[in-house]
Each structure stands twice: as C-alpha cells, then as structure tokens.
Amino acid sequence: MTIATDRSIQQKPLSFEGFLAQYGDNDHYELIDGELFDLEPTGPHEEVAAKIGQWLNFEIVQQRLNYFIPHRCLINPLSAWTGFRPDVIVLDRSELSKEPLWNSEPVITMGSTVKFVAEVVSSNWQNDYARKFEDYALLGIPEYWIADHAALGGEIFIGRPKQVSLTICTMGADGRYQTQILRGNEAIVSPTSPA
C-alpha cells in the first residue's frame, strides 16, 4: 500500500464525502486522515485474503449465522477524513437497518454491524498494526486479524527474528484488544467462529 503521489489526484486533504464522490466505486483506494492511499495488493496478498474469506464463509454457512462477507465495503470510523477498505469484513445482517448510508453506499459507520475484520499486511504495515488497530477497537469491532504473510511488520509487532504471523485481536471487557500472535502451525481460535 502506498500513498497516492500523483499531484493531479490529491493536492489537499480529502474529506470522506469527497472521497466517496471521487473514489467510492474504485476499490484501489482508501482514505486515512485526508490522505489518499493507493492499495496495490500483490498476488500472494490476494490469496491470503481469499483463504481467510473462504474459511469464514464456510463457518458462516455451517453455523447458519446471519452474517455475510460483502465484495467491497468501506468503514468510516467516526471521522470526516477516513475510509478504510478492509481486505475481509464480516457484517451482521440484523444490524444493517441501523446503518445510515448502507442503502445508498456500501459504507459502515457503526462497529455493532461488524463482527470481524482482517487486514493482510502490505508495504504500509504501520496502518494495519497501529492506526486500524486503534480505530477498529474504538468502533468496538469484536475481532480483528492482522495477517502478515511476508513478515513485513515491525519487530515490536511480530518479534525477532521476523516471521510470518497472524495477530488475532479480540475485544476485552475493558474495551481494548487483547492480542495473540500465531506462527507456524498454531491453531486458530476465533470468537467469531468458535467451531
């Protein structure tokens, strides 16, 4: 993920409304604090996101949950300047009627609608480990995965030596994420899909 540097694309901070008008249908961009970020996923990045989505879809069907995974969606975390495009998101159908923008735009503004988010780490790993970690927690999203398939994250997040890892963040009673870092063949335990 890189910041869009083409001056014709962006010269001043972009509001979320402006972002929706210009890039709402273009899933190559997301907005963070008024800065346009060009999402440039690699083939392996897309493969990891697809595997996570496939596993979650299987669990949703098996458990007959009232959830679904949209093809594309934006999360607007209580900010006039930010719109995240998660790699994988699980939404609760029963909460969609409370979403003010959903009927006209695939935009989620309330954490209660989101059951799960996964981000596959790219070159701009700081957004996944820091900014999105904080904003998703503030929204109250119960589960957030950070899939670092190329060991790009900082040592403070994935350890030394750097290794491929999956960080599972689950909401604690104190409103903060509790994290567990998995490496190798460690079993995944997910509150979203406890089976």
**pLDDT of amino acid 193:** 57
Query: Which has more confidence, 82 or 185?
Result: 82
**pLDDT of amino acid 190:** 72
Query: Three-state DSSP class for 163?
Result: coil
Q: What percent of the chain has pLDDT over 70?
A: 92
Alpha carbon 161 to chain centroid, angstroms? 26
**What are the residue boundaries of the structural domains of the chain, listed by start?**
42-78+85-182
Q: How far apart are CA 146 and CA 130, in angstroms?
A: 11
In the sheet that holds 165-171, the strands lie side by side as 67-68, 88-92, 114-120, 143-148, 165-171, 177-182
**How many residues make up the chain in this entry?**
195
- DSSP secondary structure letter of residue 123: S
**pLDDT of amino acid 36:** 93
Asked whether the beta carbons of 88 and 35 are under 8 A apart, the reply is no
**pLDDT of amino acid 159:** 79
**Global pTM value:** 0.88
Which CATH class name applies to 42-78+85-182? alpha beta
Q: What is the pLDDT of residues 134-179, one digit of tens each?
A: 999 999 999 999 999 887 888 878 778 888 999 999 999 999 999 9
**pLDDT of amino acid 194:** 52
Q: What is the pLDDT of residues 7-17, one digit of tens each?
A: 444 467 999 99
Average pLDDT (70-97) is 93
Q: What is the pLDDT of residues 23-49, one digit of tens each?
A: 988 888 999 999 999 887 889 999 999
Phi, psi of 52 (to 5 degrees): -60, -45
3, pLDDT greater than 60:
no
Long-range contacts of 180-184 (CB under 8 A, 24+ apart): none
- DSSP secondary structure letter of residue 193: S
**pLDDT of amino acid 7:** 41
Q: How far apart are CA 169 and CA 38, in angstroms?
A: 25
- DSSP secondary structure letter of residue 154: -
